Chain A
Amino acid sequence: MGERPADEKRSRPASADELSRVAPLRARRDLTAAGAAVSIALVRGSADTGLSAASDGEIARGIASAPPGAAQAEESELYRRFAGRVRMYGRKHLRDDAAADDLAQQVLLVTLEKLRAGEVRNPDEIGSFILGTSRMLAGSTARKARRRESLTAQFHAPALYAEPDVATDDIAAVERCLHALAERDRRVLVLTFYAEKTSPEIAAELGVTGTVVRVARHRALERLRDCVGVPGPRKP
């Protein structure tokens, strides 16, 4: 293969090798340095960075153009916006809550590093960069445990703040609403999200088609959502 163009090198997400080798060292340097340049040690418990109206690109450019440590509000805002998404990605692909938490932490640390170093070619596409980095890091399960140990040892669980997951803390509400569903819909949800059965497996269990299962699942989860009162735009 030919040499990759210089600007492409600069904009691509870092490889897993690069990340596992470089990121912890740089992040450790930043986190432990006087002045705590890695300012994702955010204002604990506060989501208000005063930047909620800014686009992702504006936030990213703000970080890239500022001296180290001078864009704390932007870094906080970037973390607030994306940590939850990376965590979800981690839960989906790593199937482990702790590993997903670690992934979110490391991906955001790496992203801030790259922004500060001018290694994100297009800050307007910072979401794509973060996704690419998430894929790189999550893809290497063999290195995952080593990275987790490294992060735990080096970062001393800095105080990070991200938007909380959509609240379903009220399990009683989920329980009540789950039992308000039709029996078949309830069973589809339980078999899907607890027993982790596929549509064909559930279809065989219920004596229906896979399409019926998928439609029932969509409908049931929407009803559950309405009943529990989970907020957010649902329909265009």
Chain B
Amino acid sequence: MTDMRCPAPIGFADVVDYWAGELTRSEEDRVEEHVFRCAACARELAAAEALARGVAAVVREGRLHTVVTDAILNRLAADGVRVRMYTLEGESVVPCAVWAGDDLVVTRIRADFAGVDAVSIVTRQASGDEIGRISDVAVRPGQREILGAFSAAHLRALPATRVHVSVTALAGSGGSGERTLAEFTLEHGGAFDRPSGVQ
């Protein structure tokens, strides 16, 4: 039947698990058999699939502002996404820019995260205007760096400016209140059509 309502819907959680590959073979079979009999639940599956594909498309197009992992970077490289990388470590000022063709800019933020469960990363222009904020980033024991990703399109709109990155341990982490773990400075030169020196 193609009734709009299903008397025994399989539920969005199962639909998500199905699409995420979390079900056993027999559970997958059960979902598929239901979906091929039930238009309403087929629409649920279609919704989950469309959203999953939408998430992948956002990432694949570099339209991301979040913490990433090396696994994600490897996948992005395989998909042809052009990633520009800067490493933030210590007190030196890091010169940076966005070039034509860049899809994503990633900062490797290296600091001492010992005893910290989660951090926030706030990026500001010299004017104090916020460029981006990533909150409640989970930190694993022994973790030494966090990879923050920005859409290059977003950064391309910035003027040349000094950029400050502040990494803050959240309240409760390490047994004390909010505290600054590390601060970094980048000298953003702006957006360029081609790498310097290339005619």
When chains A and B are docked, how far (Å) is the Cα of A84 from the Cα of B45?
A: 10
Could you tell me which residues of chain A, from 63 to 119, have a CB within 8 Å of some CB in chain B? 81-82, 84-85, 88-89, 91-92
Which residues of chain B from 47 to 101 have any CB-CB distance to chain A below 8 Å in the complex? 47-61, 63-69, 71-72, 75
Contact B16 A218 (CB under 8 A): yes
- Decide if A192 is an interface residue (CB 8 Å cutoff): yes
Q: Which residues on A sit within 8 Å (CB–CB) of B6?
A: 233, 236
CB of B80 to closest CB in A, whole Å: 14
B59: contacting residue among A127, A194, A199, A228, CB under 8 A: A194
Q: Are B12 and A207 in contact (CB under 8 A)?
A: no
What distance in Å separates the Cβ of A204 from its nearest Cβ neighbour in chain B? 8
Q: Does any Cβ of B come within 8 Å of A178's Cβ?
A: yes
Contact B141 A228 (CB under 8 A): no
Closest residue on chain A to residue B56 by CB atoms? A194
Chain B residues with CB below 8 A from A193, complex form: 20, 52-53, 55-56
Q: Scoring A residues 181 to 205 as 1 if CB is less than 8 Å from chain B, else 0, what string do you get? A: 0111011011111111111000001
Q: Binary interface profile of A, 210-236, with partner B (CB < 8 Å = 1, else 0)?
A: 000010011001101100101111111
Scan residues 23-57 of chain B and give those whose CB is less than 8 A from a CB of chain A.
Answer: 32-33, 35-40, 42-57
Give, as a whole number of angstroms, the nearest-CB distance from B139 to chain A: 8
B180 to chain A, nearest CB (A): 19
Given the known inter-chain contacts A197-B71, A214-B17, A236-B9, please indicate yes or no for A224 contacting B46, CB distance below 8 A: no
Interface of A is mostly: helix
How does the 8 Å CB contact mask read for B1-26 relative to A, with 1 for contact and 0 for none?
11011100101110011111110000
A82 to B36, CA, bound (A): 8
Q: A222's closest neighbor in chain B, by CB?
A: B12
Which residues does chain B contribute within 8 Å of A183, judged by CB atoms? 66-67, 134-138
> Is A190 touching B68 in the complex (CB atoms < 8 A)?
yes
Question: In whole Å, how far is B144's beta carbon from the nearest beta carbon of chain A?
Answer: 14
Contact call B47/A81, Cβ cutoff below 8 A: no
Among candidates B38, B44, B54, residue contacting A168 with C-beta atoms closer than 8 Å? B54
Which chain B residues lie closer than 8 Å to A85 at the CB level? 35-36, 42, 45
Interface size in chain B (residues, C-beta < 8 A): 62
Q: Which of A52, A195, A207 contacts B75 (CB 8 A)?
A: A195
In the complex, the answer to whether A230 meets B63 with C-beta atoms within 8 Å is: no
Q: Of B16, B22, B67, which is in contact with the most chain A CB atoms at under 10 Å from its CB? A: B16
Q: When A171-B57, A171-B63, A178-B58 are in contact, do A127 and B141 touch as well, CB less than 8 Å?
A: no
Contact A168 B20 (CB under 8 A): no
Name the residue on A nearest B137 (C-beta). Answer: A183
Complex alpha-carbon distance, A50 and B126, angstroms = 63
Check: B194 CB closer than 8 A to any chain A CB: no
10 A–B contacts, CB within 8 A, in A order: A127-B38, A128-B36, A167-B50, A184-B138, A191-B71, A196-B75, A207-B138, A218-B16, A230-B47, A233-B4
In addition to A127-B36, A182-B135, A207-B141, 11 A-B residue pairs with Cβ atoms within 8 Å of each other are A85-B36, A127-B38, A165-B46, A168-B50, A184-B136, A190-B72, A193-B20, A194-B72, A195-B75, A206-B140, A233-B5
**Interface residue ranges, A against B (CB under 8 Å):** 52, 54-57, 81-82, 84-85, 88-89, 91-92, 125, 127-128, 130-131, 165-168, 171, 174-175, 178-179, 182-184, 186-187, 189-199, 205-208, 214, 217-218, 221-222, 224-225, 228, 230-236
